[in-house]
Amino acid sequence: MYRLVVLFAVVLVPPGAAAAAEHVVAMKDGAYAPDRVRAKAGDTIRFVNGDTVDHEVFVPTVGFAVDLGKQEPGKEAVLRLGKAGSFEAECVFHQNMLLEVEVAP
Amino acid sequence: MTSPAILGACTLALLASAAALAGPERIAWPEGYAERFVLYNMVDRPDRGTVRFMYVDRASHDAARPGEPLPYGTVLIMEDHKARIEGDRPARDSDGRLVPAEEVTNVFLMQKEQGWGEAYPPELRNGDWDYAWFLPDGSRKADAKFEGCFSCHLNREGERDFTFTFAKYVLDGKPRH
């Protein structure tokens, strides 16, 4: 029985496998903080609106384009990073609110 | 000699005429756009369970240059598809992207023509762009409102020429999707 459990653990967690990370990005004073995220495929970014106005995460980059929808103050939204590459996240309502994201394989 | 009163009346009449012509009715349904236009981007909308197909007419696609205003005659189309469902949640491909279903739910257009913006007040005007909303069969959405289009696209004034995706695509070197 012990051998069976050990074998199962090896199959489920291959050597070198890292757990997906969550990167938290604040939306505060009309800016993303931090304004650059380096992540790995499989990670997530959690956007937290700490402002008193609405924001809306929008990625226009081809291959990564997504609109997370309107976020009222205090609300959160999660972006899943499914593949490697680089893209920019903007805010629909605030043209100069930018976040650069680099996703490694 | 023309009196100022007559000139004023003529100006008012012209403005009224321009205002009457403004709006979605001056944008025609682009028959066969899926075959004739360039599909340049696809935007996931996970909060609504939709995928947006972004098209541009081929002549404007080829003529557009980074940092320059988009050409007059540009027609941009945002075609909404429902995302395919697997079990009780939207299906995703190997890159984590939503998988669009065949069914089209709405077709939104924006078109830029010389002088089109003159009919709108400065606080609403989007350069020379106007907007239209069609159903998939080519009929116009009966109760469509466009204030949201104007107010939202106003946030991309300047280098982006009031567009969220197309001018960015041009600035990025027109990458293949």
Instruction: Kindly give the confidence (pLDDT) of every residue in chain A, 105 residues in length, as a single tens digit, with 9 standing for 90 and above.
Output: 444 444 443 444 454 456 899 999 999 999 999 999 999 999 999 999 999 999 999 999 999 999 999 999 999 999 999 999 999 999 999 999 999 999 999
Residues 6+ apart with CB under 8 A from B165: A60, A65, B40, B41, B43, B54
For residue B25, the distance in angstroms to the closest alpha carbon of chain A comes to: 27
Query: Is the confidence at residue B27, as pLDDT, over 80?
Result: yes
**Cβ contact B111:B75 at 8 Å:** yes
- B40 lies within 8 A of chain A by CB: yes
* Tokens linked to B105: 């739910």
- B171 lies within 8 A of chain A by CB: no
Nearest alpha-carbon partner for B147 in B116, B124, B114: B124
Q: From CA A1, how far away is CA B101, in angstroms rounded?
A: 47
More confident of the two residues B13 and B119: B119
Q: From CA B28, how far away is CA B111, in angstroms rounded?
A: 10
Q: How far, in whole angstroms, is CA A27 from its chain's centroid?
A: 13
Backbone phi, psi, residue A96, to 5°: -95, 10
Residues 6+ apart with CB under 8 A from B126: B117, B120, B149, B150, B153, B154, B157, B162
Residue B6: strand, helix, or coil: helix
* Tokens linked to A82: 């499914």
Residue B96: strand, helix, or coil: coil
Average pLDDT over residues B9-26: 57
Question: How high is the mean pLDDT of chain A?
Answer: 89
Smallest CA–CA distance from A71 into chain B, residue: B47
In tens, the pLDDT along B120-142 reads: 999 999 999 999 999 999 999 99
For chains A and B, CB pairs below 8 A equal 59
Give me the pLDDT at residue B21, please. Answer: 65
For residue A42, the distance in angstroms to the closest alpha carbon of chain B comes to: 9
Give me the pLDDT at residue B39, please. Answer: 98
Residues 6+ apart with CB under 8 A from A82: A41, A42, B92, B94, B95, B96, B97
Residue A24: strand, helix, or coil: strand
Give me the pLDDT at residue B22, please. Answer: 80
